[in-house]
């Protein structure tokens, strides 16, 4: 299927590795030029070079931090100058602090503030600077990565659930306000996606990974490619009548009808 987005330009945040990098590759495979934004300069340049080599599209690396206003302002200025602004924005944000804890154990204000900054404010700050660049184009796609815990809270995920739910609410408001400009705004809410690329305290143990495979009727973890495929579809021409939605990619884990 031709998704109709060849030649479009996408901004992908947190794209030096993991989910953001995989989404950038999936878009580039459809002929989309990409602007990569992340803190790690060397990794970001490496991803950009790999995308150019593998997909033959333009890939621009813009190092910076979603939490630093000057960095986000520079990102917007660079896109205005280099690509006349993005057609597609993919918002991948940070994780809550480790280790994750039970709800009543989350009594440290610093952890709450870190979670708010990393997961909610970072997305808002990027949107404040980037979305105005899209509104005069008459077409656009914004997709934020949240979590299935927004729809079905999971144990020890309180910090993630609260602020990713905030992202979902913020995106719903945006969807209603920018639809008149031809811009759709949606969320993708993943769970049980393979994260074997992670290292250190954020990596799952073998026992944790095995337990997670039992949480879905499909009996396996989802792949990064499956998640990126859903994001890419929401960025496509064919998704133009979907806005204000949150699409779960969880292998059937969430049991609610709505």
Q: Indicate yes or no: pTM above 0.85.
A: yes
**Whole-number pLDDT of residue 236:** 98
* Number of folded domains that form the chain: 1
In order, the DSSP letters of 137-148 are: GT-EEEEEE--G
Q: Which domain holds residue 67?
A: 9-192+224-249
User: Of the candidates 67, 177, 189, which has an alpha carbon nearest to the alpha carbon of residue 131?
Assistant: 177
What is the predicted pLDDT for the residue at 174? 98
Say which residues have a Cβ less than 8 Å from residue 246's Cβ, sequence separation at least 6: 146, 150, 151, 168, 186, 187, 188, 189
Among the listed residues 29, 35, 36, 37, the one whose alpha carbon sits nearest the alpha carbon of residue 53: 29
CA angle 65, 66, 67 (to 5 degrees): 90
For residue 28, the domain's CATH number is 3.40.50.720
Alpha carbons 179 and 181: distance in angstroms, whole number: 5
Residue 201 lies in a domain: no
Residue 164 within any structural domain of the chain: yes
- At residue 200, the pLDDT reads 54
- Max CA separation in the chain (angstroms): 50
- Write b or e for each residue in 178-188: b if 16 or more Cβ atoms lie within 10 A of its Cβ, otherwise e: beeeebbbbbb
Q: Is residue 202 part of a domain?
A: no
Distance CA 186, CA 176 (A): 11
Residue 17 falls within a domain, yes or no?
Answer: yes
49 within some domain: yes
211 domain residue, yes or no: no
Evaluate whether residue 200 is within a structural domain. no
| Within a domain: 233 | yes
Tell me the β-bridge partners of 144. 91, 187
Task: Give residue 189's Cα distance to chain centre.
Answer: 9
CA dist., res. 192 & res. 208, Å (int):
11
For every one of its 258 residues, what pLDDT tens digit does the chain have, with 9 covering 90 and above?
899 999 999 999 999 999 999 999 999 999 999 999 999 999 999 999 999 999 999 999 999 999 999 999 999 999 999 998 899 999 999 988 988 899 999 999 999 999 999 999 999 999 999 999 999 999 999 999 999 999 988 888 899 999 999 999 999 999 999 999 999 999 999 998 987 655 555 555 666 667 677 778 898 999 999 999 999 999 999 999 999 999 999 999 998 877
């Amino acid at each position: 299927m031709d998704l109709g987005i060849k030649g479009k330009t996408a901004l992908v945040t947190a794209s030096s590795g993991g989910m953001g990098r995989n989404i950038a590759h999936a878009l580039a495979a459809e002929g989309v030029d990409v602007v990569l934004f992340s803190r790690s300069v060397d990794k970001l340049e490496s991803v950009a070079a790999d995308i150019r080599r593998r997909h033959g599209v333009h890939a621009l690396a813009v190092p910076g931090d979603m939490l630093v206003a000057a960095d986000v302002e520079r990102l917007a200025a660079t896109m205005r100058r280099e690509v006349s602004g993005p057609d597609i924005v993919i918002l991948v944000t940070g994780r809550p602090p480790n280790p994750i804890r039970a709800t009543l154990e989350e009594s440290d204000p610093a952890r709450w503030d870190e979670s708010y900054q990393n997961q909610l404010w970072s997305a808002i700050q990027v949107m404040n600077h980037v979305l105005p660049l899209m509104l005069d184009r008459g077409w656009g796609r914004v997709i934020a990565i949240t979590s299935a815990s927004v729809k079905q809270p999971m144990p020890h995920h309180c910090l993630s659930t609260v602020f990713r739910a905030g992202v979902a609410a913020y995106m719903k408001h945006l969807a209603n306000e920018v639809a008149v400009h031809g811009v759709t705004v949606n969320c993708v809410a993943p769970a049980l996606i393979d994260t074997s690329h992670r290292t250190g305290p954020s990596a799952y143990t073998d026992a944790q990974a095995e337990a997670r495979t039992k949480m879905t009727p499909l009996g396996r973890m989802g792949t990064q490619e499956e998640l990126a495929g859903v994001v890419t579809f929401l960025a496509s021409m064919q998704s133009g009548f979907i806005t204000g939605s949150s699409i779960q990619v969880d292998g059937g884990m969430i049991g609610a009808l709505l």
